[in-house]
A and B are shown apart, each in its own frame.
Chain A
Amino acid sequence: MTKRKRKNIIKKFFLYLFVIVLCVIILYPYFVMFTTAAKDRSEMYALNMTILPVEWKWSNFIEIWSAAPVLRYFLNSVIVAGGATLVAILCGIPAAYAMSRMQFKGKSVFLGLVIMSQMFAPVVLLVGIYKLMTTMNLVNNLIGLILLNAAFNQAFAIWLLRGTFLSISSEMEQAAKVDGCGTIGSLIRVLIPMSAPGIVTTLIFVFINSWNEYTIALTLMSTDTLKPITVGINVFYGFNMIQWQYLFATSLFATVPVIILFLCIEKHLAAGLTAGGVKG
């Protein structure tokens, strides 16, 4: 019995050791981001570098807003991510509804195509996307960015929403139809409220993906005032002078809200992604 107890203690010890090392490694870049953001510029290239700032310079977090059009970048990110989320969900809900509640020819083909579309990441299509956007006159245009983000998130949106809809029995909707609700009525009044957690997960996931998107925005948005934050932070990254403290202060503002949002959906998201696959 004591042998077993000792074995348990050793096991617990290694468990905690593992977890602590893991957390230190994961948090290390965030620690660097935070401490560097609060350093004075003169400390950046000092000979005797310190880990923590010699003097915590909180004013960096205020200066960034006037050092570059950072507010504009954030606004652009909100517009692009918000717009893309709206478009993706407005197109995704009806499609997911048809694919979870209706029988029709070509359903499995369409589902296959949706999953296939995931294989074409924006970056391998950039040459084609750039050409398309030029002909549609949407280069340097937030609407172009919104539509592209919505399209490239469509597969995930449909996947997650279809999984949610399939997990809800259609009896309630049929009852609503008997009571005189049309198809659209039963969707809006019954299915959507019942799938609220799944829909919110999808909304947040698409929002974060579009917020974090870099490649398309880098290619299409050359006008400074139209850049989203992921591209905009490059202003602090000049050829001969990098303003690390501003770069990281801005990055911190761009990161914290997203992490908080992500924490809200983490549980639903992983379950939703794998469930969509199993039920495929």
Chain B
Amino acid sequence: MKKHAIRKKAEPYLWMLPSLILMTVMIAIPIVTVFQLSLSEISRAGVIKGYNDFKNFKMIFASPTFWHTLQNTLVWTVAVVGFSTLIGFVIAMVLNQEFVGRKIVRAIVVFPWATSLIIQSVIWKYIINADYGSLNVILSKLGIIKKYINWTPDANAYFAWECWIGIFVTFPFVTFCVLSGLQSIDSTFYEAADIDGAGFWQKLRMITLPLLKPSLTVSTVLNIIYVFNSFPIIWTITKGDPADRTHTLATYLYKLSFYNGKSGQAAAVSVVGFAILCVCASVYMILSLRAEKEDQL
């Protein structure tokens, strides 16, 4: 009888065992390793030579490139997630209308979401090339420009293009999250609002936005994590250059580790990245708990 009880208690954990093992080995161990490496002296060959009194952190904090990278990461995350959410939301509102060809447009909006980031980035790299890029060719054939324009004169211009590509590949996710949210809104709400004489903006503010909050929260939270950690776009377009001016934390740590052989410092950059995401996560938790409390009042 006792044996049976133990087996019954252990059963759910047995069901989860394969998943647990997979995630522990492939994710949890690398996490621990990253923390360990960030605190260790490492030879160029990758041999750990023991604890080094936060030297890796001191080194990266002393580097101006790191602080510029941190600033870039912030701009990148806020700009890409912000604009994607705004644009994605507007497009979802439009796609929620009845019009001829809606299904086709919906399908087209899926394209950037489904395409590999590396392929999307390579195409855009070709498009913005100053000498033979497609954008210059098309604009000059249309007579809009007379001479080819150098679209990427400096690091800021490169970074702006990278943000544009980021927005381009991110907004469809928002659109589809919002669309699925819109479909679950009961149309009687709007009918009642129409009878009360509510205008478009009133309906948007009082009905649509509050009811879309769960969908928008999911898409924003996931997008913040993805965009913050995004690597292929910037790596393809500039590799963080010119002069390390277009790095985000993801490309910076990759270069430190796999180009400059400084895996200790790269691990320290990773830890800083975790710390920032953890702060964001706790802010989110506090805000949502507070909102829950307000709802109960």
Which positions in A face B, CB cutoff 8 Å? 12, 15-16, 18-19, 22-23, 26-30, 32-33, 36, 44-46, 49-51, 87, 90-92, 94-95, 97-99, 102-104, 107, 110, 114, 116-121, 123-132, 134, 147-148, 150-152, 154, 158, 183, 208, 211-212, 214-215, 219, 230, 233, 237, 244, 247-248, 251, 254-255, 258-259, 261-263, 266-267, 269-271, 273-274, 277-278
Task: Report if B33 contacts A (CB, 8 A).
Answer: yes
Name A's interface SS. Answer: helix
Task: Report if B160 contacts A (CB, 8 A).
Answer: no
Pair B263/A50 contact, Cβ less than 8 Å: no
Residue of A22, A44, A120, A259 most packed against chain B (CB within 10 A): A120
Task: Report if B137 contacts A (CB, 8 A).
Answer: yes
Task: Report if B189 contacts A (CB, 8 A).
Answer: no
Name B's interface SS. Answer: helix
Whether A118 contacts B117 in the complex (CB less than 8 A), given A91-B22, A128-B32, A259-B110, comes out as: no
Pair B18/A90 contact, Cβ less than 8 Å: yes
Pair A214/B118 contact, Cβ less than 8 Å: yes
Residue of A211, A215, A261, A278 most packed against chain B (CB within 10 A): A215
Residue of B30, B117, B263 most packed against chain A (CB within 10 A): B30
Chain B interface size band reads 35 or more
Residue of A15, A29, A130 most packed against chain B (CB within 10 A): A29
Chain B residues in 8 Å Cβ range of A23: 105, 108
A92 is contacted by which of B9, B11, B19, B267 (Cβ under 8 Å)?
B19
Q: How far is the CA of A110 from the CA of B19 in the complex (A)?
A: 11
Q: How far is the CA of A126 from the CA of B263 in the complex (A)?
A: 10
Pair A154/B19 contact, Cβ less than 8 Å: yes
12 contacts between A and B (CB under 8 A): A15-B94, A22-B105, A102-B15, A119-B281, A123-B254, A125-B34, A127-B257, A147-B26, A248-B126, A251-B119, A274-B180, A277-B217
Interface string of B20-51 (1 = CB under 8 A from A): 10110111011111100100000000100000
B113 is contacted by which of A119, A125, A262 (Cβ under 8 Å)?
A262
B33 is contacted by which of A28, A132, A254 (Cβ under 8 Å)?
A132
Pair B138/A15 contact, Cβ less than 8 Å: no
Pair A254/B119 contact, Cβ less than 8 Å: yes
Residue of A128, A158, A233 most packed against chain B (CB within 10 A): A128
Chain B residues in 8 Å Cβ range of A120: 27, 30-31, 274
Pair A126/B118 contact, Cβ less than 8 Å: no
Pair A127/B34 contact, Cβ less than 8 Å: yes
Q: Which of B101-145 contact A (CB under 8 A)?
A: 101, 105-120, 122-124, 126-127, 131-132, 134, 137-138, 141
> How far apart are B143's CB and chain A's nearest CB, in angstroms?
13
B22 is contacted by which of A18, A22, A87 (Cβ under 8 Å)?
A87
Apart from A119-B225, A121-B229, A212-B115, what are 16 other A-B pairs with CB-CB below 8 Å? A23-B108, A26-B108, A26-B112, A29-B123, A99-B16, A126-B254, A127-B30, A130-B257, A134-B46, A237-B122, A259-B110, A263-B110, A270-B180, A274-B181, A277-B217, A277-B218
Q: How far is the CA of A50 from the CA of B134 in the complex (A)?
A: 9
Task: Report if B179 contacts A (CB, 8 A).
Answer: yes
